[in-house]
Structure 1
């Protein structure tokens, strides 16, 4: 974090990244003195409602964040910024977005938690668009021009007013991570899938250390003391209730419960009842410290791709155990009428043996359980995400697989990622293929546990 004084006294000359959050009501003109170097500008958490018309003078600007401000429209000056690829205006009061506001090299657009009811057709004329985050708006339809965005891989449209998913959306060749929960189109499937977790009274829980905090809530270690039973160490996730980039945290809680029991899911033990502030929460099994995230979150540069530790190397048996486990649990979710929506290495916990757990249901969405064209398409969009994960695992196997085994797995990766969505294999077929490649076969009967 930088200060306005540093900026005004020329202490920041030559920097490439500037972050100012100091209740700004106007754009500081001194920022233009950084035009020869500035690439990333973060003005989130201020009180801005406009940007200067000559913002394009920042000729090296690639990334702009203006979240948590007071904008009511996406500034049209952005469209004249020739190097700008990433734009983030989350949690403003934006109602109006015009084509003129969209920079020509736009790759990543965040408009989460605004008041947008319509998007311009020009959005589909941004051929580099790869990541589009629109959760928590008032959209009733998506512009048909998005059918031209063949590089689009991640789309968040949860908590809008969409009555249907257009057919062209389900045919996009690279779409891999889709979240659409909390729209009228999902309501019927959501209601059919409603599950109620065992209530666990707040008085039985003693919170201890915080284990982590995400966009949707905070996870604590806790002691659960049921009446007349021995105490048990558990994890308690308390949901914040605010809109996240994926959608509603309460919908995430519903999806966690509906997912049911599976060897590759963190077990939900019950739902918090009687919280003094009526905060929603889940009580879950406590995961041991030997489990760690397989990968880190995507970076500004990687956009839709996870960041792996440079030194990460996996034995072939470990990598294949992870691949089998994730294919198995993804198939289980699909049979429950759920897509995970965020099938990524950063949402996978694993140990040194390759035992793995898929977490974070913030982008999960419900779909019909009947086998129709839309259901198959929704499931096979997620298959592409698995194909990308499989490729990332194959790239980190050491020592290398034999030539024949590697070729067969690379062929599976290619089939999962092929542009024809409905031609991709389903997870049942993927499970069978991976079961044939080694030990640790996934029991489909076990996957159907309630």
Structure 2
């Protein structure tokens, strides 16, 4: 975090990233003194409603964040910035997205939690677009021109007003991570999941201990569940009730309860009732301390791909065990009519012996397995995410035998096949992984 005083005193000369959160109501003109070096500008958490018409003087600017401000329109001047590729305006009051506001090199657009009712047709000209975050708006349709964005890999359209799913999205050859829960077309399946039989746990039977972590949708605490004379260590997730980058916490809760039990998934014990403040929450199995996140989330540079610790290496046996458990977990989810939507290494908990758990259902969406063609498309979309994961793990394994490496490369290629219909199902993947393991 920087200060206006530092900026005005010339102490920030030459910096690449500037972060100012100090109640700004106007864009500080002193920022232009950094034009020779500034690449990332973060003005989130202020009271801004406009940007200067000469913003393009920041010719090196690649990334701009103006979340949690007071913009009602995405500034048209953004489209004039020659190097701008990432635009983040989450949680404003944006209703209008002018055609002129979209930079030609746009890779990553965040408009989560606004009031956007439509997008301009020229978004289809943003052929470098990889990541599009639109959850929590008022969209009733998407421009068909988005089909031209052949590089698009991740899209969040949850919690909008879409009456029908835009089928043409599934023709995008690189689409990998999709979240659409909380729209009218998915409402019935979500309500069925929420009404399904689920163990209810009275809040007063829980003894809450320390905070274990905080995600986009809620807080997770260590707790003890009192059951007669038995004390069960558990984790408690209390939902914030606010919009997240992926969608609505209520939809996440529905998906979590729908998943059922599987050894490759984090387990839900029950749904909390009678919280004194009416907060929604889940009681979950406590994950042993030896589990940790397999990777970190994507960076500004990697955009859609996770960031792994530089030192992370795994053996062939560990790689195959992780792959089999995650493929099995995804197969189980799809049998329940749930698409995870965020099958990434940063949502996988693992141990150095290869135990693995797929977690975090914030981007999960429902589909009807009885609609065979549509459900197969959703499943094979997620197969591409598994292919990315397997590719990343294979690159971090030093003791692969020639035969195993060849078999895994063939499986990766099949999962990443641009034509969705030619990708294997997760049932097929589980079978192929079993064969590879037995032959290794």
Moved more, 338-347 or 229-238: 229-238
Q: Secondary structure at the match of 1:132?
A: strand
Shift of the alpha carbon at 1:439?
5.8
Cα pair 2:350 2:357 within 8 Å, conserved: yes
Q: Is there any run of 5+ residues in structure 2 with no aligned partner, and where? A: none
- 2:224 corresponds to: 223
Cα pair 2:198 2:270 within 8 Å, conserved: yes
Q: Secondary structure at the match of 2:437?
A: coil
Shift of the alpha carbon at 1:8?
1.5
Q: Map of 1:300-379 to 2, 5 A cutoff?
A: 300-379=300-379
Q: Is there any run of 5+ residues in structure 1 with no aligned partner, and where? A: 441-450
Cα pair 2:386 2:415 within 8 Å, conserved: yes
Cα pair 1:198 1:271 within 8 Å, conserved: yes
Shift of the alpha carbon at 1:184?
1.1
Which deviations, in whole Å up to 9, do the C-alpha atoms of 1:264-311 show, x marking residues without a partner?
Answer: 111111111111111111111111110011111100000000001111
What CA distance in whole angstroms lies between the structure 1 residues aligned with 2:8 and 2:271? 52
Q: Map of 1:73-152 to 2, 5 A cutoff?
A: 73-152=73-152
CA pair 439-348 structure 1, distance change in 2 beyond 3 A:
farther
Which deviations, in whole Å up to 9, do the C-alpha atoms of 1:93-143 show, x marking residues without a partner?
Answer: 000001100001000000000000100011110010000000000001110
What CA distance in whole angstroms lies between the structure 1 residues aligned with 2:43 and 2:378? 37
Q: Secondary structure at the match of 2:307?
A: coil
Cα pair 2:190 2:254 within 8 Å, conserved: no
What CA distance in whole angstroms lies between the structure 1 residues aligned with 2:424 and 2:27? 51
Moved more, 170-179 or 261-270: 261-270
What CA distance in whole angstroms lies between the structure 2 residues aligned with 1:92 and 1:380? 35
Shift of the alpha carbon at 1:196?
4.0
Shift of the alpha carbon at 1:188?
2.6
Cα pair 1:158 1:247 within 8 Å, conserved: yes
Q: Secondary structure at the match of 2:167?
A: coil
- 1:271 corresponds to: 271
Q: Map of 1:428-439 to 2, 5 A cutoff?
A: 428-438=427-437
- 2:421 corresponds to: 422
What CA distance in whole angstroms lies between the structure 1 residues aligned with 2:358 and 2:422? 25
Shift of the alpha carbon at 1:375?
1.3
Q: Map of 1:196-275 to 2, 5 A cutoff?
A: 196-226=197-227, 228-275=228-275
Cα pair 1:109 1:132 within 8 Å, conserved: yes
Moved more, 421-430 or 297-306: 421-430
Moved more, 195-204 or 319-328: 195-204
Matched residue count: 438
Which deviations, in whole Å up to 9, do the C-alpha atoms of 1:336-395 show, x marking residues without a partner?
Answer: 000000000000001111111000000000001115222111111100000000101111
Cα pair 2:67 2:91 within 8 Å, conserved: yes
Q: Secondary structure at the match of 1:206?
A: strand
Shift of the alpha carbon at 1:80?
0.1
Shift of the alpha carbon at 1:205?
1.1
Shift of the alpha carbon at 1:185?
1.4
Q: Secondary structure at the match of 1:436?
A: helix
- 1:65 corresponds to: 65
What CA distance in whole angstroms lies between the structure 1 residues aligned with 2:372 and 2:146? 24
Shift of the alpha carbon at 1:246?
0.1
Q: Secondary structure at the match of 2:272?
A: strand
- 1:383 corresponds to: 383
Moved runs in structure 1, 4+ residues, more than 6 A?
Answer: none
- TM-score computed with the length of structure 1 as normaliser: 0.96
What CA distance in whole angstroms lies between the structure 2 residues aligned with 1:66 and 1:196? 43
Q: Map of 1:159-178 to 2, 5 A cutoff?
A: 159-178=159-178
What CA distance in whole angstroms lies between the structure 2 residues aligned with 1:314 and 1:166? 40
Q: Map of 1:27-38 to 2, 5 A cutoff?
A: 27-38=27-38
Which deviations, in whole Å up to 9, do the C-alpha atoms of 1:299-324 show, x marking residues without a partner?
Answer: 00000000011111101010010000
What CA distance in whole angstroms lies between the structure 1 residues aligned with 2:4 and 2:14? 16
Which deviations, in whole Å up to 9, do the C-alpha atoms of 1:29-77 show, x marking residues without a partner?
Answer: 0000000010000000000000001000001100000000000000000
What CA distance in whole angstroms lies between the structure 1 residues aligned with 2:390 and 2:36? 41
What CA distance in whole angstroms lies between the structure 1 residues aligned with 2:28 and 2:205? 52
What CA distance in whole angstroms lies between the structure 2 residues aligned with 1:318 and 1:380? 25
Q: Secondary structure at the match of 1:270?
A: strand
Q: Secondary structure at the match of 1:438?
A: helix
- 1:446 corresponds to: none
Cα pair 1:342 1:363 within 8 Å, conserved: yes
The answer to whether residue 164 in structure 2 is matched with residue 158 in structure 1 is: no
What CA distance in whole angstroms lies between the structure 2 residues aligned with 1:231 and 1:186? 39
Shift of the alpha carbon at 1:197?
2.5
Which deviations, in whole Å up to 9, do the C-alpha atoms of 1:215-238 show, x marking residues without a partner?
Answer: 101101011112x22111110011
Cα pair 2:182 2:251 within 8 Å, conserved: yes
- 1:411 corresponds to: 410
Q: Secondary structure at the match of 1:223?
A: strand
Q: Map of 1:391-410 to 2, 5 A cutoff?
A: 391-399=391-399, 401-410=400-409
